[in-house]
Structure 1
Amino acid sequence: MLPFATSNDVINLWRPLKPEEIIRTDELLKVVSDSLRVEADAVGKDLDLMAFDSLTFSNVLKSVVVDIVARTLMTSTDQEPMTQTSESAMGYSWSGSYLVPGGGLFIKKSELARLGLRRQRYGVIDFYGTN
């Protein structure tokens, strides 16, 4: 199956890509699109059909895919991806926060919600029973 976005979409919606990033982007687009298909299948939805039926949904889907790919591309592959670090000298202190704890690809709950893939749960607990 085709990805929901192209490397040109990543360039147009995010930033220009370096030549070595384009190959990685093309592979990430496939993986992200298939990951979203699996998430949609888990809640009984068909993303391909939904994108085909609505141009508006197709654009939102493209935006979500680009966001996930951009976040993954920002994650360093040759060093630890830190968002903040702190160092001290005489007290021998160091601390830091990682961009993606555990590394790898991840899809935020808010991104799934944008696509309507967050399963709503509801129910009632009857504490007193029925007599």
Structure 2
Amino acid sequence: MANKPFATIQDLEDLWRILRPDETKRAEKLLDVVSDTLRVEAKKVGKTLDTLVSEDDSYANVVKSVTVDIVARTLMTSTDQEPATQSAESALGYSQSFSFLVPGGGLFVKTNELARLGFKRQRRGVIELYE
């Protein structure tokens, strides 16, 4: 049984930008991988993401948005060179400085994206040191 992605190519184009022809096939695969990644993250906190999505349309839209954000960030990551988001260069001192979008590449889910899905919450507790 194949799981259905939480977003479609059309959602990606509606919420982010029109994809180039070479990006479409990669995006289709990424939508599957990201959706399954989110399912695994939900299992880690004892939740079933597909059930939550089917029960609440608002939550389904948040999951769709998070899925699109992760896929868009991954598509922006260059596959043939390091993607610099910021750079600085000097002339006579021969100095260069770059900040990279995803050092080392790969797919990742940010902590704030997990928090948007309700998978990361602040915990508070008390430890009794003395009885």
The TM-score, its normalising length taken from structure 2, stands at 0.93
Measured in 1, the distance between the counterparts of 2:76 and 2:35 equals 18
2:15 paired residue among 13, 16, 37: 13
Q: What is the root-mean-square deviation in Å for CA atoms of aligned residues?
A: 1.1
Measured in 2, the distance between the counterparts of 1:67 and 1:20 equals 19
| Counterpart for residue 82 of structure 1 | 84
| Counterpart for residue 39 of structure 2 | 37
**3-state SS of 1:78 partner:** coil
| Counterpart for residue 27 of structure 2 | 25
Larger Rg: 1
| Counterpart for residue 100 of structure 2 | 98
Structure 2 stretches of 5 or more lacking a match?
A: none
Q: Which amino acid aligns with 1:40?
A: A
Contact 1:43 1:119 in 2 (8 A): no
Q: How do 1:40-59 and structure 2 match up within 5 A?
A: 40-59=42-61
Q: Which amino acid aligns with 2:13?
A: I
Q: How many residues align?
A: 129
Segments ≥4 residues shifted beyond 6 Å: none
Shift of 1:125: 2.3
Shift of 1:109: 0.8
Q: Which amino acid aligns with 2:26?
A: R
**3-state SS of 1:121 partner:** coil
Shift of 1:3: 0.6
Q: Among the aligned pairs, what percent are the same residue?
A: 62
Q: Which amino acid aligns with 1:117?
A: F
Instruction: Tell me, yes or no, if structure 1 residue 70 matches structure 2 residue 72.
Output: yes
Contact 1:5 1:29 in 2 (8 A): yes
Measured in 2, the distance between the counterparts of 1:15 and 1:85 equals 25
Q: Which amino acid aligns with 1:55?
A: D
Measured in 1, the distance between the counterparts of 2:41 and 2:13 equals 25
